[in-house]
Amino acid sequence: MERPAWAPRSIDITVPSVSRIYDFYLGGSHNFEVDREAARKAMEFLPGLPGIMRANRAFLRRAVRYAAEEEGIAQFLDIGSGIPTFGNVHEVAQRSRPGARVVYVDHDPVAVAHSQAVLAGNEDADVVAADLRKPAEILSSAPVERLLDLNRPVALLLVAVLHFVEDADDPYAAVAGLRDALAPGSLLVLTHASFDGAPSLAARGDGAAGVYRDIRNPLIMRSREDVARFFEGYDMVEPGVVAMGRWRPEAAEDDDPYAFSGLAGVGRTA
């Protein structure tokens, strides 16, 4: 298999990557056949997976615009950011609020390497190779210290990442540690896999989750109540924790049941 210039020598391109699978669902070009094969296996159980990912990305764009334009936030910390594709955080934030500063964080070397290439020349955005489960390492990293003033409000983005953190790794403690480091008026922007809004898909979802388990990235489905627990210490922004497509939609709601198989919410620290 020929290795493209954007794929660092350090990665094994024969092993599927969650970031590259997500890129494939979004119609991106930074994926390999091994990633596409895993994606197609998951789609055998949930054919609507690409639509779920597009709904997730659409929510992300709406939430970033909300943070920049309505809350006046000019600092963004995107953890579990994946491979930047069209309409990513720095593009949306800096279009809505020129000079906005963005730090991406991911533990996947492909995501980090490609982010570095995309952000070259952008003095107001950078990327950190780090893990959500170690918030202190993220907060003390050079890009965060250079670009973000933690004494001013920050929009913390945990979009489509917490469902890859098992309960044994205590994701609630990690989220609380990040919350406690941020200034009043900061936002938590979050999405999470869940079938609470589409129970008819749950059985098929177990099959799709099995594909992720096979590539050593377990997909943890949590209930609405479990997802709401991540917002402890935050005041919820209306309409609260809802299906991704129902958070301040810009168009008529989608009747596709797959559009309701993930939850989203935004909270504000007091």
Q: Nearest to residue 103, comparing CAs of 159, 60, 142? A: 142
User: Which range, of 34-38, 57-61, 109-113, 263-267, averages the lowest pLDDT?
Assistant: 109-113
So what's the pLDDT on residue 77?
Answer: 98
Q: Nearest to residue 138, comparing CAs of 151, 149, 127? A: 127
Q: Which helix (H) or strand (E) covers residue 102, if one does?
A: strand 101-106
pLDDT at 254 over 70: no
So what's the pLDDT on residue 188?
Answer: 98
Q: For residues 148-176, give the mean pLDDT.
A: 96
Query: How does pLDDT run across 186-244, given as a tens digit for each residue?
Result: 999 999 988 675 555 555 555 555 555 655 566 788 999 999 999 999 999 999 999 99
Q: Nearest to residue 94, comparing CAs of 84, 85, 86, 102? A: 102
So what's the pLDDT on residue 79?
Answer: 98
Q: For residues 149-161, give the mean pLDDT.
A: 97
So what's the pLDDT on residue 18?
Answer: 85
Per-chain mean pLDDT for the chain: 87
Q: For residues 58-87, give the mean pLDDT.
A: 93
Please state the pTM of the whole predicted model.
0.88
* Res. 17 pLDDT band, cuts 50 70 90: confident
User: Which range, of 39-43, 135-139, 203-207, averages the lowest pLDDT?
Assistant: 203-207
* CB-based burial, 185-206: b 16+ in 10 Å, e otherwise: ebbbbbbbbbbbbbeebeebbe
Phi-psi region of 265 (alpha: psi -120 to 50; beta: other; left: phi over 0): beta
Instruction: Give the count of beta carbons closer than 10 Å to the beta carbon of residue 99.
Output: 9
CA atoms within 13 A on the CB side of 229: 11
So what's the pLDDT on residue 40?
Answer: 93
Q: For residues 140-169, give the mean pLDDT.
A: 96
pLDDT at 260 over 70: no
| Placement of tokens 């309701």 in the chain | 260
Q: What is the DSSP letter of 79?
A: E
Give Cα 143 distance to the centre of its chain: 19
Query: How does pLDDT run across 106-136, given as a tens digit for each residue?
Result: 998 878 988 888 898 999 999 999 999 999 9
Give DSSP secondary structure letters for 244-268.
Answer: GGGSS-SSPPP--GGGGSEEEEEEE
Sketch out the chain's domains with CATH numbers.
Answer: 18-269 (3.40.50.150)
Residue that wins the pLDDT comparison between 204 and 176: 176
**Do residues 76 and 154 lie in contact, with contact meaning Cβ atoms separated by under 8 Å?**
yes
Q: For residues 153-169, give the mean pLDDT.
A: 95
d(CA 207, CA 45): 6
